[in-house]
Amino acid sequence: MLPTSPEFLDFWRERRLCTVTTLRGDGTPHVVPMGVALDPEATRAWAITSGGSQKARNITKAGADGAPIAICCVDGARWSTLEGRVVVLTGPDDVAEAERRYAERYKQPRENVARVALRIEITRVLGNVR
């Protein structure tokens, strides 16, 4: 499902923010910058956020099947978008996994007692990564 070229995998390991798009209750897009870490072996990605954030509320309102999401990462002419479904996870093991993956791509996140994990199951990949 995911491209396996070294260029694609390296692109998603390089430290840069992504734009993350979720849908508000009225169907309008909510787009914010965010750190996202790819897990290519599981065809998923992970992110961390505060449980009270707008994106977390948008996702939670969608229900147990998750919410649609688009994650876009851009570096000049190179870009990649991951589309899929996302759920909010609050369990300590899930949050720790998301924090670990975030730290691998970015840096150790600051302490946040309201932190939740976002697990994105990837269904489509678009882009121009060479």
Residues 94 and 117: beta-carbon distance below 8 Å = yes
The fold of 6-128 is Pnp Oxidase; Chain A (2.30.110)
DSSP notation for 46-81? EEEEETTSHHHHHHHHT-TT-EEEEEEEEETTEEEE
Predicted pLDDT at 19: 98
Which sign does the torsion angle of CA 4, 17, 55, 25 carry? negative
What is the predicted pLDDT for the residue at 63? Answer: 83
Residues 111 and 30: their CA atoms lie apart, in Å, by 25
Q: What is the pLDDT of residue 129?
A: 87
Q: How many helices (H) and strands (E) does the chain have?
A: 3, 7
Look up the pTM and report it.
0.93
Question: Domain residues of the chain, as ranges?
Answer: 6-128
- pLDDT number for residue 46: 98
Q: Please give the average pLDDT of every successive group of 10 residues along the chain, which has 130 residues.
A: 90 96 96 96 96 96 92 96 97 97 96 96 92
Distances (CA, A) of 47 to 44, 100, 101, 130: 10, 10, 8, 25
The pLDDT score that the predictor gives to residue 130 is 67
